[in-house]
A and B are shown apart, each in its own frame.
Chain A
């Protein structure tokens, strides 16, 4: 959780009075974290910046409906996921653009099994972006946001069984898209690709 100068209740009260200082604090506290998650979901930094901007604007507009039953970040994240769905409604797959390819091509390190971490990371990024949005969502929520199964279920408004099923198929699909050296299921597979 991001560090804030005021507690969440106070922050929400100030947001409801349209206090610019509170908005500034909200953006400072959660902006970068939301951006990284948006990037993981959509794979494009420019689009991720737009989604986060819209997330904050929508949050400011609807702050009067926020009852404080969840943490502020949870509330913001729900808006973010919803907006990401809108952005990708007409797109089945994300286009793997040059910007992302540059980002994926990070400096490489040799690994004991010959697969460098840069290649592994790039392959993972590409595999993730070829997943359907429903599968990518559960992967990002589970392994990036470190959410628990019941939290993911609440976020996506589906049952816990559906979340587990999607996770299972998403990992299985990712595995098919990854090179043989990157085994998400095999014994010790992920141990061998540490940076």
Chain B
């Protein structure tokens, strides 16, 4: 230990709160350092002197009787709210902790489910739907005594991309008669 380190520990050395090893180091330093030994001695003297001064100046002071009476009288004002205060003091910590836990749990749940829902929506890929149907057309014509009919067929194709909202693409195609 050097002088600076000892000065940092001076008060603890004088009051006797240093650990055994640090105290031993301090004692070792004091054995070699006259200046620090003197500083420690001065602090002990100062403490004793100031302590004596305070005691001498204040030893005749006593609490006045009217002050004692007023303190006792203050009890009467305290009796009614005391029960409420007691109950609140008993339960304020559990209530506070429970409220905090509920708040945190609510926030976590809301966050979790909103993420799940968003994720589910994002996971849905668009669905391409295509529907086709044949639309026959009958045509009749008279050649002499004969009535001839022809059938033509029209293929209608409807294609649509489904995205959970409104259709993004609707396509109608018509194929020429066969």
Contacts and interface: CB of A to CB of B under 8 A. Distances in A.
Interface in B15-60: 15, 17, 38, 42, 45-59
Contacts, number: 121
A52 interface: yes
A146 interface: yes
Contact of A24 (B46, B64, B72): B72
B46 A190 contact: yes
Contacts of B63: 27, 31-32, 35, 49, 52
A103 to B, nearest CB: 7
Contacts of B67: 31, 49, 52-53
Interface in B80-106: 82, 85-86, 89
Interface stretch (A4-12, A58-66, A77-85, A90-98): A58-66
A149 B12 contact: yes
B61 A60 contact: no
Interface in A3-51: 16, 18, 20, 23-24, 27, 31-32, 35-37, 39-40, 45, 48-49
Q: Give chain B's interface residue range (CB within 8 Å of chain A).
A: 35 or more
A36 B59 contact: yes
B82 A31 contact: no
Contacts of B15: 148-149
Contacts of B54: 36, 40, 140, 143-144
11 contacts: A24-B68, A24-B72, A39-B57, A57-B74, A64-B86, A121-B57, A143-B47, A143-B54, A144-B55, A191-B45, A193-B49
Given A121-B56, A149-B12, A164-B8, 5 more contacts: A23-B71, A148-B17, A149-B11, A186-B42, A187-B38
